[in-house]
Structure 1
């Protein structure tokens, strides 16, 4: 069958993560939440350690810990803590605790590099189901709250005037971010998840005429980067996850160095 080919499974996994990360990445860029996404991703390694320790799904453990991290940061930020300091403390502490927790796992063989930088070539059919199921959930959630999320991003006072609480919309973004982190671990690893959120969205910003166009363009750039990155990794024998991010970065660089063309299409 088609899915028996590991490259086809890897390609489908990369495209699935790109579709999940694209709309969410746009809000990360608009809201300047890049470090927030990084902190949530770093927390996932602690979820991996707990999953292996309690013999449960890595997706479940990463999702729970990433969600707890995002909610904790959101609550503490409302108590007056400086966001950049808070995120720095939480991100690096979670990563350190996760790495230490992994070292205590006796009798469990773990390829730490696969979780840090991804192991997309080892994606199974079950992994594909999880990735595409998570991507569908994120896209559905963002699509359902799209207009309210845009209003809350534009102006919180306007959101209150429209009759809804922007903090509730922040919660929806937090849930979507946790799901995206959990499904992306297998593809690019915890250290590069933030890049898949930010880079395609930032590149799409140079071409976008509207928020909807930016989200769709980011999905195309992310999916194309996954396909091109896998091909380049196969030919050059380089790590697949980092190569995918490199491809997305090259697209961003090209669009940034030639802004006149991008602006001419707006």
Structure 2
């Protein structure tokens, strides 16, 4: 467990959890889980774009996720129910991404790694990207915390306070795209939403304020990552799914604790 690759994996998981925690709270409060799914599924299309243009994977995933988020925001309320629109875009982006990857000749692509993560293969350069992205996300969310929280509670109250709810939505879209770009190496495109939603949902039943919920979600996300790594190491199971399994167990335990307290 103390080998270099395990230490890098643990640092990568903690950095991703710190970035996903506050954003995951807003995803839970705003009921944006499907929005997160659609944006995450676009990551595979971003991988194909990056490999085709010989650019960093982080850049391709960021561009694709941001484009998906802005597309969903622009098309919402134009004749389609939001869940229908998200379903169409999410599965279409994933399918086009997988097809696009199959057309890349002379490029070796580990699709399983991009779909389910490959945290054990994280390099020092990947760590720099993950922690740099996490720092940018935390700074962005902390500076806009009050505006984001007010827009989440009530868009009308936000407008009365001089806050533009649309701008708040764009800030969340940017933060979500950054989170997906740094998390794809850790848990993969198919499991990113779980890392966003489950720790925040677990913290919701235990926290007494929005700020405490965000901090508790960060702690639970870090614990989830370390627990998933240990489980994967001991049982020789896939690391990304193991992390999500630990998160699900903690969620069930939080519900049990909350029911017992009531």
Q: Residue 137 of structure 2 contacts residue 175 of structure 2 at CA under 8 Å; is this kept in 1?
A: yes
Give structure 1 regions of 4+ aligned residues with deviation exceeding 4 angstroms. none
5 Å-filtered alignment, 1:30-109, equals: 30-109=29-108
Q: Residue 114 of structure 2 contacts residue 184 of structure 2 at CA under 8 Å; is this kept in 1?
A: yes
> Which residue of structure 2 aligns with residue 170 of structure 1?
169
Give me the TM-score of the superposition, normalised by structure 2.
0.98
Q: Please, which runs of 5 or more residues in structure 1 have no aligned partner?
A: none
Distance 1:140 1:207 in 2: 25
Matched, 1:156 2:163: no
Q: Residue 46 of structure 1 contacts residue 97 of structure 1 at CA under 8 Å; is this kept in 2?
A: yes
| Displacement after TM superposition at 1:79 (Å) | 2.5
Distance 1:61 1:49 in 2: 8
Distance 1:4 1:208 in 2: 35
Distance 2:174 2:3 in 1: 32
5 Å-filtered alignment, 1:114-125, equals: 114-125=113-124
What number of residue pairs does the alignment pair up? 261
Helix, strand or coil at the partner of 2:163:
coil
Give me the TM-score of the superposition, normalised by structure 1.
0.96
Cα-Cα RMSD: 1.2
Distance 2:52 2:12 in 1: 26
| Displacement after TM superposition at 1:258 (Å) | 2.8
| Displacement after TM superposition at 1:82 (Å) | 1.1
Q: 1:262 to 1:19 in 2, by over 3 A?
A: farther
Distance 1:136 1:259 in 2: 32
Q: Please, which runs of 5 or more residues in structure 2 have no aligned partner?
A: none
